[in-house]
Structure 1
């Protein structure tokens, strides 16, 4: 028999209270479960960051030993190895303007154990080799910028020129005869950078492609070619010793590492600026937690006083505390910038 009157009201009140209590208990349990899952996720992320790396890390460099890319990578690999307690090896996969290293890195597992030293030079390779299966823009995720460096026209003292103006005069007098090495090969950044000069002055050298700055420099020192257009950091010591003559740097201001070498702009090519940078990328799909740890550790190593002094002594400008997204943006921006330069100037790099 159904309850009625005051008894019914009491029954309904008690039933409501019981349902509300059950709802609160269920909500609390659900909230607790959600918080537990969140905590587990955070713990897993922290664990992944703490554990990485547990084996050898490779840095792939697209150019031969002895050049600026190689010097930068080796300086950082030693310190990262000390920090992680794991071996960090530099592998020089030279050839085809750096594209062989790009392809090798793109094929690697996206786990953080393979990094590619990338930068402006790889952007030009991507522009020049659009038919390749892999490129630095679409197949990688940024990790950290490391350094900015001027490019330099350096020649053998045997060439008989002492400054940029004399070099230009010789190119005009002997078009296509002065041999200039290109460490990043035909179609690379240094080829484009010199062609901008050549287009303005109306004379070009005879370009000799190389798989890196080391072999190109050896041939200049050995008297096999007249000079090279090269990253300044690769030949700083040779210019200081007088074995090479630095004619002009590509940046808007002089390099503190070689303050007596004027800029190309102040030497007769107004407005000429070619900025270059180098940094690290990882295969696309590398976990964010791993990328973030790599970013923090690389930035930390770059801020060590002895590392900064070493790199700045070579002519690099160390980049401070870059973020992975900055690397992605820089690669995309430079791809657009150099596409525009090639279209506007009509320069052919083949």
Structure 2
């Protein structure tokens, strides 16, 4: 039987509308059961503390439990891959951070594509990084540190980070490139050992999150040289930025955010972003996050997606230029 084109067109529109009904209904009912928030690191530390704070508050806002599931290993890739391969229904989320997703993936070559296998929900916050030195290093400012590094024997001054391909590692490589300072990276398996060594004097320079060392700076156990972001931080307002110290256009922040599997309905992503933003706007949440050294953000999925793409391209260039590989 032959049908007029207008009838066929109406039938097509109707079919499309009917196909969308389950997605709309699912979004309206979401969440109908507990949500799993995968944290790709061991319990403890700033990332895990952020996840637990957010899970508690978000669970209250959504009316469903948000369960933190720590899945450490492979520089964060194991947990990220679990989420990338999960059902795209909004019930499995990733607390991801830039060191694993947009810097380390250029080196570790995981079995997922950060640009295509996730639906970014929102950037939870920014964590400013800082360069500190052991008191044994006779430098009280960036210019003095640069001069000391250039005068050092053996190819430059060692600086440590929590691992190869981390944001701190690449911040050091960028600093070496832009300021012409001879810095030699030492990769630790975690930030705690690197901090122990800089406190003990066996590591001259450390790049880490402000929250990890602010108390040691205040106690005079390490010396703060500069923060890596575009602005000073409230926890250490006397510490200048690298741009203030003479490194033109230098701005590196570490971020943490929420991502869902690619294909998660847009309505679910929008609901999650809206609820997370509400949680981040609560004075109690904001205060606790600032204590952790994280500045709350809560931007839109599109804004977060754009930053992931920008950072992935930026750090890919750094890795390639520096010739960084896993040992």
The TM-score range, normalised by the shorter chain, is: 0.7 to 0.9
Cα drift, residue 267 of structure 1:
1.9
Partner of 2:216: 238
Q: What runs of 5+ residues in structure 2 fail to find an aligned partner? A: 1-10
Alignment of 1:7-22 (within 5 A): none
- Return the match for 2:37 from 52, 58, 69: 58
Deviations 1:234-285 (A, max 9, x none): 3333323333322111122212221111111222323322233221111212
Say whether the 8 Å CA contact 1:60–1:114 is kept in structure 2: no
Specify every segment of 5 or more residues in structure 1 that has no aligned partner in the other structure, as ranges: 1-29
For residues 256 and 69 of structure 1, the distance between their equivalents in structure 2, rounded to whole angstroms, comes to: 20
Query: Does the 8 A contact of 1:177 with 1:206 survive in 2?
Result: no
TM-fit CA distance, 1:150: 1.9
Q: Is the 8 A contact 1:258 1:315 kept in 2?
A: no
Alignment check: 8 A CA contact 1:119 1:276 kept: yes
For residue 79 of structure 1, give the secondary structure of its aligned residue in structure 2. Answer: helix
Q: CA 1:110–1:224 in structure 2 vs 1: closer, same or farther (change >3 Å)?
A: farther
The answer on whether the counterparts of 2:129 and 2:210 sit within 8 Å (CA) in structure 1 is yes
Question: Closer, same or farther in 2 for the Cα pair 1:334/1:87, shift >3 Å?
Answer: closer
Q: What secondary structure does 1:235 align onto?
A: helix
CA deviation digits over 1:111-150, x for unaligned, max 9? 3232222243221123334x43213222111111111222
Q: Which residue of 2 aligns with 1:348?
A: 323
CA distance in 2, matches of 1:241, 1:225: 18
Is residue 317 of structure 2 the alignment partner of residue 336 of structure 1? no
Structure 1 residue 301: Cα displacement: 1.0
Q: Structure 2 vs 1, CA of residues 301 and 243 (structure 1 numbering), >3 Å: closer, same or farther?
A: farther
Aligned residue for 2:4? none
Aligned to 1:299: 277
After superposition, the Cα gap between the structure-2 partners of 1:285 and 1:222, relative to the gap in structure 1 and judged at 3 Å, is: farther
On the 8 A contact 1:257/1:314 being kept in 2, the answer is no
Q: Which has the larger radius of gyration?
A: 1
The 1:161–1:312 alpha-carbon spacing in structure 2 relative to 1, beyond 3 Å, is same
Pick from 283, 294, 301: which aligns with 1:324? Answer: 301
Q: 2:29 matched to which residue of 1?
A: 48
Q: Is 2:203 aligned against 1:225?
A: yes
Q: Does 1:180 align with 2:181?
A: no
Deviates more, 1:235-244 or 1:291-300: 235-244
SS at match of 2:104: helix
Residues in 1 aligned to 2:284 and 2:195: alpha-carbon distance in whole angstroms? 26
Residues 1:201 and 2:180 are matched in the alignment: yes
Alignment RMSD: 3.1
Asked whether the 8 Å contact 2:173–2:322 carries over to 1, the reply is: yes
